[in-house]
Amino acid sequence: MRTQVCIIGGGPAGLFLAHVLHAAGIESIVIERQTKNHVLSRIRAGVLEAGTVDLLRQYGLAGRMDRDGMPKDGTRIFWEGKADFWIDVIRWTGKRMMVWGQTQITEDLYAARERDGGEMVFEVENVALHDLDGAPSVTFDRHGESQRIDCDFIAGCDGFHGPSRMAIPADIRREYERAYPFGWLGIMVEKPPMKEIAYAYHSEGFAMASRRNPMLSRYYVQVPSTDKVEDWSDDRFWEALHRRLPEHAHGEIETGPSIEKSIAPLRSFVAEPMRWGKLFLAGDAAHIVPPTGAKGLNLAFSDVFYLSRALIAHFRENSDRYLDSYSQMALRRVWAAENISWRMTKLLHVFPGEDPFDQKIRQNDFDLLAGSEDIQRAFAFEYIGLPFED
Ligand code: APR
Ligand code: PHB
């Protein structure tokens, strides 16, 4: 097979790239290790930055989001022993976020690929990347048969565990990482959610209330990395959540049997550079953020914005200006998201072994935020997501 851009990975990054390239008349083939149903069964965060909302609208992917999504003007923070706090994102930035699930976005992206006749190959195995500084190709096996795609460029959109990042030579690749000694135990419940998404700090640990739709709630509590899902009955979960959220909010929590329960580890990770020869990384293939800032999907979309612009300039205007600056430009935004995600994680979680000094600094960080409009404005600027660079 031959195509202009071979896209490894059919998650949101790979599919959105294929969609934007198609709109510009550039051919691609998406290869995906799993089946489509498997990709669509993953449960992930669902808060969109204003820039992501704009991109979905610009590329004709916003119909369902604009009908069923929940516009979000700010975020509620509950803090043990202190008054509730509201980060007034719209007031400080003039921009509005949106609560809309990644699963629904991915469904719409698949529908668009199918409608546009975009080529996708599922259930590929043994994917390997070749000749990244010459005439690149990708080989893989499918149902026992070897196949090969020759291409001009490879987009590595294959998530944290995919082979693309590893194709960058070890002496070139630099990796930066922070692992956290705790995870988020999340449950999904078919009950009306709390009025607003809320983050909570409590001396027992972080807790959070989120939503998927008017009849589907998503809640999380911080748990030690060593805990197993089996350690957490629904009753134990609800008791922990109630203890960590203030009493005056208990009336807003509608409990019920969980329809899903899982533990997600928290990790910060960045690989540099995001380009090697004809290979370009985008999304989780290059970076992971802890979910506290809800930046993961937004970063995947901003990478794809920069990468698609660069590929379009290459094929349509014969200019490699954006291809050459892709890694640096994308990484500036990646590090900004890593930064706020790490700070929010530090602010809102209890770290095993922390001492009273750490706790005093955390309390003071919250007091500074709650007490200063300047700090709120700065926070909102980062939380809404940095503007795209020209
Ligand atoms: N060959 C082909 N596809 C692969 C391979 C492989 N060897 N390895 C992994 N993949 C596929 C995975 O099955 C997955 O569908 O690549 C896809 C990567 O998708 P995601 O992990 O969803 O990553 P990305 O598209 O970058 O989206 C980022 O996902 O983890 C969240 O918070 C993150 O919301 C963000 C989003
Ligand atoms: C979620 O809805 O799953 C969610 C929302 C915001 C976050 C993390 C997760 O910061």
CA distance 193 to 76: 14
Hey, what domains does the chain have and what are their CATH numbers? Answer: 5-72+97-176+267-350 (3.50.50.60)
Query: Does ligand 2 have an atom closer than 6 angstroms to the CB of 193?
Result: no
Q: Which runs of consecutive H residues, i.e. helices, occur in 142-229?
A: none
For CA atoms 157, 158, 164, 166, the dihedral sign is positive
pTM of the model: 0.96
From the CA atom positions of the chain, what is the Rg in Å? 21
- What angle (nearest 5°) sits at the alpha carbon of residue 361, between those of residues 356 and 362? 95
CA distance 218 to 200: 14
CA distance 36 to 10: 8
Nearest CA owner, ligand 1 atom 33 = 296
Atom of ligand 1 nearest to the CA of 296: 32
pLDDT in tens, the chain (390 residues): 999 999 999 999 999 999 999 999 999 999 999 999 999 988 777 899 999 999 999 999 999 999 999 999 999 999 999 999 999 999 999 999 999 989 999 999 999 999 999 999 999 999 999 999 999 999 999 999 999 999 999 999 999 999 999 999 999 999 999 999 999 999 999 999 998 999 999 999 999 999 988 999 999 999 999 999 999 999 999 999 999 999 999 999 999 999 999 999 999 999 999 999 999 999 999 999 999 999 999 999 999 999 999 999 999 999 999 999 999 999 999 999 999 999 999 999 999 999 999 999 999 999 999 999 999 999 999 999 999 999
Residues 6+ apart with CB under 8 A from 135: 150
CA distance 15 to 376: 35
C-alpha 20 to ligand 2 mean position (Å): 26
| Token pair of 360 as six digits | 């005093």
Best of 218, 261, 343, 347 for a ligand 2 pocket test (most atoms within 8 Å of beta carbon): 218
C-alpha 266 to ligand 2 mean position (Å): 13
Residue 43: its pLDDT value, please? 77
H or E stretch including 19?
helix 12-23
C-alpha 370 to ligand 1 mean position (Å): 37
Other CB atoms within a 10 A radius of the CB of residue 81 amount to 9
C-alpha 10 to ligand 1 mean position (Å): 7
In the chain, count of helices (H) and strands (E)? 11, 19
CA distance 152 to 268: 32
Are residues 283 and 300 in contact, defined by beta-carbon separation less than 8 angstroms? yes
